[in-house]
Copies of this chain bind each other. A is one copy, B any other.
């Protein structure tokens, strides 16, 4: 696993309200569908997404959980094979795989794990977001 964080996603109660707050802070969102807002933040991406949807995507919206997720960090890999390799590395390092890797509805491939404190990571291959040589990630212009 390269030592970088591609996305920081905050789980929010209302994406429009949260987006309005960050716009008041001077942040400019990229073109985004209504259910998620993406901001280019230096070499990473900052995003706002519904807490319940975030929990479903991370594989932690079970019968016994509170069905919401507060924050998910993402590492975007350069290939599907790298996604599998990083998830295997995480499992071997003691992480709990919360969602095995699978093809996603948005045309990518991703899986998720929880670190020993329950912090969630998505390991993703996303053909829509460019990863530069130095590991920076870029939203489409």
Q: Which residues of B contact A135 (CB under 8 A)?
A: 42
A95 contacts B by Cβ under 8 Å: yes
- For the complex, give the distance between the alpha carbons of A135 and B41 in Å: 9
Chain B nearest CB from A88 CB (Å) reads 11
Q: Which residue of B lies closest to A86 (CB)?
A: B25
Q: Is B94 a contact partner of A24 (Cβ separation < 8 A)?
A: yes
Identical chains bound together, number: 2
Binds B, one of A57-65, A100-108, A114-122: A114-122
Q: Is A21 a contact partner of B94 (Cβ separation < 8 A)?
A: yes
- For the complex, give the distance between the alpha carbons of A92 and B92 in Å: 47
Q: Is B24 a contact partner of A93 (Cβ separation < 8 A)?
A: yes
Within 8 A of B (CB), among A5-54: 5, 8, 10-13, 17-18, 21-22, 24-28, 39-44, 46, 51
Known: A3-B27, A12-B116. 17 other contacts (CB 8 A): A1-B26, A4-B41, A4-B42, A12-B117, A12-B119, A18-B117, A21-B95, A21-B115, A24-B89, A24-B92, A24-B93, A25-B89, A42-B43, A42-B134, A42-B136, A43-B43, A71-B71
Q: Which 7 A-B pairs have the closest CB atoms?
A: A24-B93, A4-B42, A43-B43, A12-B117, A71-B71, A3-B27, A42-B43
Ordered by A's residue number, 13 sampled pairs between the chains whose C-beta atoms are within 8 Å are A3-B28, A3-B42, A5-B41, A5-B44, A8-B8, A10-B119, A12-B116, A12-B117, A18-B117, A21-B93, A21-B115, A24-B92, A44-B44
